[in-house]
Amino acid sequence: MAIQREYLSPNEIGEYLGVSPFTIRRYIKLGELKAVKLLGGFRVHRNELQAFLKAHEVNPAEEQLDPEEVSEEPPVVRASALPAPPPAPIPTTTVPAIQIPQNPPRRPRGRPRKNPLPV
């Protein structure tokens, strides 16, 4: 997919790079990828995207690469080759007891009186 337009949306960039558009928006909000905000959302200039890709050494998604460059076989990782994680200890804590009143005192309702009892 050759990108021809000058400004691209996060959805288009995410599809091109094989990442979520939310990831692209996060880079924009963090200031790592420069963009302009329009009524329709963010737009990134092609030159800014190229500078970002060079700085972060990001390769486009495999669908975008030449088929000769992409290996068809996925890497093999055997679970038996990985060390077993140690068992996690079970945390125990003691919480001090507190006394909760059964019926808390009620607040008087209405407007407070200036002199509740005649003198």
Ranges of each domain in the chain:
7-66
Amino acid at 16: Y
Q: Evaluate whether 22 touches 28 at the Cβ level (below 8 Å).
A: no
Residue 18 has pLDDT above 80, yes or no: yes
28: number of Cβ within 10 Å: 22
pTM above 0.75, yes or no: no
| Separation CA 50–CA 95 (nearest Å) | 56
**Residue among 6, 3, 37 at smallest CA distance from 14:** 3
End-to-end CA distance of the chain: 92
Residue 91 is encoded by which pair of tokens? Answer: 């945390």
Contact yes or no for 42/9 (Cβ under 8 A): yes
CA atoms of 88 and 44, how far apart (whole Å): 46
For 64-108, the pLDDT digits (tens) are 555 565 556 666 656 555 667 777 787 777 777 777 667 767 777
Q: What is the pLDDT of residue 61?
A: 56
Total H helices, total E strands in the chain: 3, 3
